[in-house]
Amino acid sequence: MKIVSVKKVYANGKHNAFTGLGYVNGRYVLAFRQSDGHGDASGKILLLESGDGKHWTEHRSISLPEKDGISFDFRDSYFLSEQNRLLFYHFFTPVQNGKRLPSVSQVMSSTDGRSWSAPTKHESILWHPVYAFGKYYTAGYFHNGNEDQCDLFSSANGINWEKVARIAKGSETAIYPWKDGTLLAFVRTEIPPYFFEIFQSTPPFTDWKRLGTVPKIIQAPHVFTAGSQVFLSGRERPDYMKAEGFGLHRTKIWKVGADASIEEVLELPSAGDNAYTGTVVNPDGTVLMSYYSQHETGDSEIWRDVAAADIFIAHLKVD
């Protein structure tokens, strides 16, 4: 994997983050959260469009007004690009008196990237849904006391979801169809020592076994295929939640081997609060990847909740 170019496509001094990138019928769609800070209680989602992946125009925002003392924080965006349909997933968290209430996912669909269906809601945070083996699959996570729990969900249409099974303790989890009809789950853990874990399951995907443990902290996992190769992207954190290591956080790409092991192949320009990637694989095999970072804002060396972050598009080529 090589970098062809990296372009900053949005910056306005606010905290712009948690990107998603999709494509439908000649139009790229870029989504990200905008707020005053990483943990701000009222984030909104912006949608930008482009015909060439280079020049972007804002065309919509998604938010909810404060109601009865409750604000709504909209966050992470993910797209599932199909031939004539684009599915758009995101979630919001109600916040009352500084306390975050259970999050709610939403899914909307579009055939042109501009007009969207009314949102359908789901009571878990759905993460990067995929289509495999004649169905849609996704991991959904939720907070259970002091732990995060991650479940597998399936769907016939990518909109209405049913729980299949518990995968593991963890939060952001990327599901990926693997060889011999199995599914892999790449799980972000929040349990010491915070290592990244990979699980595998065979049909009907009700029993999940740990396939491997990666001795790294990788957050916001996203798995995609380019050419004949499988890649994992995410944020590597050398020191978990330590301010002195904040400037070392990077958006990286790893190649996934035949045994589901990972090998680092690329580091994108990034630092501080960053990553949360989205990808579109073009017909020529090149990849457009969206992500956010603070490496050009001056706020990347120490953790500050209220700090600017910018949106970038990387144009990548597979070796």
Check: CB of residue 308 under 8 Å from CB of residue 293: no
Q: What is the pLDDT of residues 17-50, one digit of tens each?
A: 999 999 999 999 999 999 999 989 999 999 999 9
* Cβ neighbours of residue 123 closer than 8 Å, sequence gap 6 or more: 102, 104, 105, 142
Check: CB of residue 196 under 8 Å from CB of residue 185: no
Please state whether the peptide bond connecting residue 204 to the residue before it is cis, i.e. omega within 30 degrees of 0.
yes
Ranges of H-type helices in the chain: none
Q: What is the pLDDT of residues 183-237, one digit of tens each?
A: 999 999 988 888 999 999 999 999 999 999 999 999 999 999 999 999 999 999 9
Instruction: Band the pLDDT of 242: cuts 50, 70, 90.
Output: confident
Q: How far apart are CA 244 and CA 247, in angstroms?
A: 7
Q: How far apart are CA 7 and CA 310, in angstroms?
A: 10
Of 67, 163, 56, 165, whose CA–CA distance to 113 is shortest? 56
Number of domains, the chain: 1
Q: How far apart are CA 125 and CA 128, in angstroms?
A: 10
* Cβ neighbours of residue 239 closer than 8 Å, sequence gap 6 or more: 245, 248
> What CATH number is given to the structural domain containing 136?
2.120.10.10
Residue 244: give the domain boundaries: 2-317
> Which residue is it, tokens 């306005």?
12
Q: What is the pLDDT of residues 101-146, one digit of tens each?
A: 999 999 999 999 999 999 999 999 999 999 999 999 999 999 877 7
pTM of full prediction above 0.95:
yes
Record the tokens describing residue 89, joined without a space. Answer: 């997933």
Residue type, position 116, single letter = W
What is the 8-class DSSP label of residue 67? B
- If you write DSSP's letter for every residue of 90-110 in order, what string do you get? EEEEEEETTEEPPPEEEEEEE
* Cβ neighbours of residue 305 closer than 8 Å, sequence gap 6 or more: 37, 38, 39, 40
> Which residue is it, tokens 């598009």?
313
> What number of residues does the chain have?
319
The enclosing H or E element of 75 equals: strand 70-81
Q: What is the pLDDT of residues 146-193, one digit of tens each?
A: 789 999 999 999 999 999 999 999 999 999 999 899 999 999 998 888
Res. 243: pLDDT tops 80? no
